[in-house]
């Protein structure tokens, strides 16, 4: 794979190093038809429930169906090392911040936004890894559901559901108390 191709493949897993993740600062970058929620309880219901209103699909099923065509392929095994190497420095730099957030949670001084980030960051990075893998395994255009998921993260929102009309649903983290825009690795401690 040439360097320009690898750069495109690894773009999603480089997102946590930017100021965009969870910023909610780029609403204009959301995919057309995106439903943006400001109610965290509703967002978590859509993300985790198996019993949804009829206009929604089960988010975990949508993601699993998007990943299943390439997950067990040789191409996936080939790119996995590059993806892990690209994201490893983020986790190394994140660990002291995570420990600070854990201490704040124990002291009951953690903000809603800090709790959100600390709870969902691992899942977000795992999803971004799948986007990178799909770009390598399927084509530079990736997989449509995963590319919509990436566009939501790239806009600074959190993907949390899928409508039956094939539009993604996201949560706007800017409504959370303590919301902070900036690179998570520069999080104020």
Could you read off the pLDDT of 106-147 as tens digits, one per residue? 999 999 999 999 999 999 999 999 999 999 999 878 899 999
Structural domains in the chain (count): 1
What is the C-alpha separation between 163 and 59, in angstroms, rounded? 9
Confirm whether 84 is domain-assigned. yes
Q: What is the model's pLDDT at position 2? A: 40
Confirm whether 165 is domain-assigned. yes
Kindly report, residue by residue over 49-59, the tens digit of the pLDDT.
999 999 999 99
Indicate the average pLDDT of the chain.
94
Confirm whether 124 is domain-assigned. yes
Confirm whether 184 is domain-assigned. no
- Of 69, 43, 86, the closest CA to residue 137 belongs to 69
What is the band of 188 on the pLDDT scale with cuts at 50, 70, 90?
confident
Cβ contacts of residue 144 below 8 Å, gap of 6+?
Answer: 66
Q: What is the model's pLDDT at position 141? A: 83
Instruction: State both tokens at 97.
Output: 């911040």
Confirm whether 186 is domain-assigned. no
Confirm whether 188 is domain-assigned. no
Confirm whether 102 is domain-assigned. yes
Confirm whether 22 is domain-assigned. yes
Cβ contacts of residue 50 below 8 Å, gap of 6+?
Answer: 58
The average pLDDT across 63-89 equals 94
The average pLDDT across 148-155 equals 98
Residue range of the domain that includes 29? 3-176
The average pLDDT across 139-159 equals 94
Q: Report yes or no on whether pTM surpasses 0.85.
A: yes
């Amino acid at each position: 794979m040439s360097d320009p191709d690898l750069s495109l493949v690894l773009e999603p897993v480089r997102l946590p190093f930017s100021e965009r993740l969870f910023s909610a600062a780029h609403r204009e970058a959301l995919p057309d038809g995106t439903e943006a929620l400001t109610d965290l309880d509703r967002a978590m219901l859509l993300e985790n429930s198996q019993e949804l209103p009829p206009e929604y699909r089960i988010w975990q099923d949508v993601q699993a169906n998007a990943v299943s065509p390439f997950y067990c392929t040789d191409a996936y095994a080939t790119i996995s090392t590059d993806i892990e190497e690209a994201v490893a420095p983020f986790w190394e730099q994140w660990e002291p911040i995570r420990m600070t957030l854990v201490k704040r949670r124990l002291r009951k001084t953690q903000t809603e936004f800090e709790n959100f980030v600390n709870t969902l960051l691992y899942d977000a990075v795992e999803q971004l890894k799948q986007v990178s893998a799909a770009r390598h395994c399927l084509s530079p255009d990736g997989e449509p559901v995963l590319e919509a998921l990436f566009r939501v993260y790239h806009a600074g929102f959190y993907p949390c559901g899928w409508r039956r009309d094939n539009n993604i649903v996201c949560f706007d983290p800017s409504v959370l108390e303590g919301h902070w825009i900036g690179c998570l690795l520069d999080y104020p401690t």
